[in-house]
Amino acid sequence: MLGTLTDKMTALLSKLGGARKLTEANIAEAVSEVRLALLEADVSYSVAKQLVKQIKEKAVGDTLIKSVTPGQQFIKIVHEELVALMGGDEAGIELKGAPTVIMLCGLQGAGKTTQCAKLARYLLKEHGTKKILIAACDLQRPAAVQQLSLLGEQIGVPVYVESGQLNPVVVAKNAFLKAKSDGYDILIIDTAGRLHIDEALMSQLEEIKKATSPHEVLFVANATTGQDAVNIATEFNRRIAITGSILTMLDGNTRGGAAISIREATGKPLKFEGIGEKIDDIQIFNPTSMADRILGMGDTINLVKKAKEHIDEEDAKELDKKIRSATFTYEDYLKQIQSIRKMGSLKALLGMLPGMSALKELDIQENEFFSIAAIIQSMTVGERTSKDKLSVPRRKRIAKGSGTSIEDVNKLVKSFEQAQQFFKKMPNKKQLEKMMGGSQWR
């Protein structure tokens, strides 16, 4: 994600790396490139102008730290200003009221309906004992109610639907009454969108808000919309007073300017970001994490969160010992692949590791996991534990037993050797936490 912006920002570090000190001349040149990169990434002009002004003032007035290069110090300043611009700290949802009412709004195509289910799934994982109800109030888009019902069934959350009802305000009000009478802790309201802002849409949202008194009004913005997303968010905030935003489509090659601009333009925090198509692909928006990604520093913050969620600590300690002592086997390889796969795609995870972009060519495709499992399970105990060398006759036998080809087995052997190198270089938990807490960028 954020390819162009990240490329331009990281190029600045290389350019300033040879400079012996920060001067007004090289600062002015660097600031000019920052401005251009921001505008090309669809950051609004006013936001870009204010940001570069603050960067320049800070860089010119900063005393050079002896332990870092001029380039590193400049990027540190850019990082700090980006974090401040996007809100500084995480801003999640505070559950209060009986029930807590969360209303999602935005234009058609932003992904509101999907985000309702993703948000419900996220809240279930974070607060497992909470009862959640989703209200299907998008009666404008064909099949929106059916889509939400299917998503609700998928995550085990009931969806309130009124067949034949044409007034979304009535549906929202009745859903609120049901949530209250049936003891639901959280009510998430899906609302209709339009292809563009119009009076009918805004009036309807105002009425739904009045009928349900939501604690959170979250504007759902498609990150690929660019500067338009900022203008739309500003208008939604003016009319219905949003409390925050959810940014979707951040997993693509979006220019990402909306992520930097919306918070500054509305004065309301970015609360969540959609990072993929799966129902679990939603996470709290973290300004430091986003600044890290923009500047090509990986995303150790969310990597640590994923690791804590999907990898058992005792298993991880045992595996780390095996990797460091060179006793890592094919069985360990399969187990580790399965654990990592739960965290997301391998390419996405590699992109979260600082300085690990060269390993994106790791010779494993996402659809090869079943073949890998079959091949390893066709090995003898000696072969799985690397005690018996995988000779050509053995490889032929394994291929036949697993229903694969000798080429597939050879590919696995090569991948296994690459993985051994990869896992040796991969930071352990303590190193990742050090990156998060002790980095010069924090």
Quote the strand ranges of 263-319, DSSP E: 270-274, 282-284
pLDDT in the model for residue 62: 58
pLDDT in the model for residue 322: 60
pLDDT in the model for residue 307: 60
Rounded to the nearest 10 degrees, how much is the dihedral formed by the CA atoms of 59, 61, 63, 69?
20
pLDDT in the model for residue 361: 47
| Cis-peptide into 158, omega within 30 deg | no
Alpha-carbon gap, residue 254 to 5, rounded angstroms: 10
- As given in the structure block, the two tokens for residue 131 are 């009862």
pLDDT in the model for residue 67: 47
CA atoms within 13 A on the CB side of 201: 18
Domains of the chain (ranges, CATH numbers): 3-85 (1.20.120.140), 100-285 (3.40.50.300), 305-438 (1.10.260.30)
Alpha-carbon gap, residue 109 to 112, rounded angstroms: 8
Q: Which DSSP category does 213 fall into?
A: -
Tens digit of pLDDT for each residue in 105-126? 988 877 889 999 999 998 998 8
pLDDT in the model for residue 291: 76
Positions of the chain with pLDDT lower than 70, given as ranges: 1-23, 61-72, 225-226, 250-259, 296-327, 336-368, 419-442
Positive or negative, the CA dihedral 129, 135, 138, 144 is positive
pLDDT in the model for residue 152: 92
pLDDT in the model for residue 20: 62
Q: Which DSSP category does 299 fall into?
A: -
Alpha-carbon gap, residue 277 to 282, rounded angstroms: 9
> Which residue stretches of 18-61 are H helix?
24-40, 45-61
pLDDT in the model for residue 25: 75
